[in-house]
Amino acid sequence: MTKYILAIDQGTTSSRAIVFGGDRTIAGVGQKEFAQIFPQDGWVEHDPEEIWDSVVWSIKTALKQAGIGAGDVAAIGITNQRETTLIWDRATGKAIHNAIVWQDRRTAAYCAKLKKAGHEKTVTKKTGLLLDPYFSGTKVKWLLDNVKGARKQAEKGELAFGTVDAFLIWRLTGGKVHATDATNAGRTLLFDIGRNQWDKGLLELFDVPAALLPEVKDCADDFGVTDEKLFGAAIPILGVAGDQHAATIGQACFQPGMLKSTYGTGCFALLNTGTDMVRSKNRLLTTIAYRLDGETSYALEGSIFIAGAAVQWIRDGLKLVKQASETGPLARTADPSQNVYMVPAFVGLGAPWWDAEARGAIYGLTRNSGPAEIAKAALEAVCYQTRDLLEAMRKDWKGGGDTVLRVDGGMVASDWTMQFLADVLDAPVDRPVILETTALGAAWLAGSKAGVWPGMKEFAASWARDKRFEPEMDAAERRRKVKGWDAAVRRTLSV
């Protein structure tokens, strides 16, 4: 029996497919970037067909690189950018509009209206989330209200809604399966995470017809099989989780109190709270960490909208570097006497501020400031924001003392950035041997369900550390730097 597992990691800026061998080493990779569409200030979209084409291309490339065929793959695991919203025609499989990306802020005024009407308390109690444009519910309403004929079609049951995972499952299975998992459902503002079901009251509040909704399954479950015409053989889809939940699994953060932070387009820190659904008093989110065999584990989450995207802006917008990897070495050359702060609120600020109207700013520039100082400020901003999240988590979580932060994502390859992170956190930071923890988590869900990968305990025992970064910064210097960051954020907030 084959032990190859295929992980589809559909992200915000690219799609990636990774073939893992039975020993969990990487046998083949395919990755393709796709366009970011900005129709207006604060609006962000993706072309659904470009997403689909990039996924298919990546899968075929990964299989070819691994030297295997689809028949050699035991199962597929899918992980995806969360909250990004699609609605498609059930008859044709074609989306009725571009995907509205999680970063999109077009429904900010509507969210403010609902808050003013006093709905946020009820929404948060049921979903663990806040009334913010970040989540899917208000995006669904916008599509139904702004695409001609969409609401009537939806009410007739002719349309289907889904986050990217559900759209891919629909396409991969040739329209036979309309399903999502509990972690993605829990990010829509439409799902009661305590009762683990779509909520009638929330559907009425956001004016979303129930006929649009996918079936909600466990993270390791039967999501159908791929159409054999796509890759030459039918492959079972046995694992699905939103990217941050998959990274939590890939980092083996299975015990309450374990903490991970992923640095991709944005930055997302999750603290496992086990079966305890902790209600944050510090503007963090309560979310489903994962649901396995019908049992739900919860987490506290802090969401930073812009992390690696700030580095992309330096590369593509300012053109200060040709490769994102150049920012770390460039930051090392910055003048240490300059106190430049970047608050990357390009699409508003996430936790713990939740200010949809804030916009990015750079403070402390002098005539001597140049590319090195700006690069340094961008990387430091990610670390300062992480500190803000962890400070909020420490206030909310009473289940244990300080914990080591496990990190993953593209930015953690920079030793300079990880050392600064440990310094401002005043806590150890562990970087794993396998940085592709999001894909690894999706692969484990599928592989364990297929019976070809080990169970939770053995998988957790196999987690390996590449390097630990210990704090080295003087306490007075840390306080000075953090004080400057706090002042920069205060100046950036819209209210």
Instruction: Tell me if 297 is assigned to a ligand binding site.
Output: no
Instruction: Tell me if 14 is assigned to a ligand binding site.
Output: yes
Instruction: Tell me if 243 is assigned to a ligand binding site.
Output: yes
Instruction: Tell me if 134 is assigned to a ligand binding site.
Output: yes
Which residues, other chains included, contact 167 with Cβ-Cβ below 8 Å and sequence gap of 6+?
48, 51, 52, 86, 88, 95, 99
42-78 burial code (b ≥16 CB/10 A, e <16): bbbbbebebbbebbbebbbbbbebbebebebbbbbbb
Assigned token pair, 406 = 């496990």
Beta bridge partners of 301: 270, 285
Give the DSSP per-residue string, 345-359.
Answer: -BTBB-TTT-BTT--
Instruction: Tell me if 317 is assigned to a ligand binding site.
Output: no
Distances (CA, A) of 131 to 282, 349, 385, 478: 15, 14, 21, 34
Instruction: Tell me if 280 is assigned to a ligand binding site.
Output: no
Give the DSSP per-residue string, 208-254.
Answer: --GGGPPEEE-SBS---B--HHHHSS--BEEEEEEHHHHHHHHTT--
Assigned token pair, 428 = 């150890």
Instruction: Tell me if 410 is assigned to a ligand binding site.
Output: yes
Instruction: Tell me if 83 is assigned to a ligand binding site.
Output: yes
Distance CA 412, CA 204 (A): 42
Q: How many CA atoms lie within 13 A of 233 on its CB side?
A: 12
Annotated binding site for sn-glycerol 3-phosphate, which residues? Answer: 12, 82-83, 134, 243
Annotated binding site, which residues? Answer: 12-14, 16, 82-83, 134, 243-244, 265, 308, 312, 410
Annotated binding site for ADP, which residues? Answer: 12, 16, 265, 308, 410
Annotated binding site for glycerol, which residues? Answer: 82-83, 134, 243-244
Annotated binding site for ATP, which residues? Answer: 12-14, 265, 308, 312, 410
